[in-house]
Amino acid sequence: LGPFKIRKKLCDSSIDAHLFRDDDGKLYLYFVQLPGFRITVQPMATPTETSGDSKVVLRPESEWEKRSGHVTEGPWMIKRAGRYYLIYSGSGADTPNYAVGYATADNPLGPFTRAPHNPIIQRSEGLYGPGHGCAVRGDSGNWWHIYHQKESDRVEWKRCICLDRLWFDQSGSLY
């Protein structure tokens, strides 16, 4: 309920910050640098103190990330079986072409490799512009993706919240 106070400004010209705590307790801040919609990681000593240099880990390169603007944003990190999964969105958020993909790495700093079956959630019959969410693990151990999608195929901001189960196949690919 506030009032809220800014404790520290960590970076300029950025959006979509996500603080990830690894199994060893180390912290990593994933955020998007503007202009250019570059997903960046910053090692953190504490939630408000940086540690070392930041590093760009993804930028708009794939066709689906450039359908309606050159965008990679909304980073969210999860870890499963020693593998890092950076879930993110691409294309313009106010368009029906907004979509969700992911990239994997053996280290939270990368290098990251985009999944060959990206995007994993995208425009289809009655589904417009799904994207920018978070992943949570339920008490049963299942992963869930909470995200928004557009209510129509128009370029606008009218959206609703969605929930889908995330699952992994035998090879560790995320769906």
3-state secondary structure 46-102: ECCEECCCCEEEECCCCHHHHECECCEEEEEEEEECCEEEEEEEECCCCCCCCEEEE
The pLDDT tens digits for 147-168 are 999 999 999 999 999 999 999 9
- The encoded tokens of residue 139 equal 């008490």
Instruction: Say how many CA atoms lie within 13 Å of 95 toward its Cβ.
Output: 15
d(CA 54, CA 5): 25
The pLDDT tens digits for 78-134 are 999 999 999 999 999 999 999 999 999 999 999 999 999 999 999 999 999 999 999
The per-residue pLDDT for 56 is 98
Spatial CB neighbours of 26, under 8 Å, sequence gap ≥ 6? 43, 44, 108
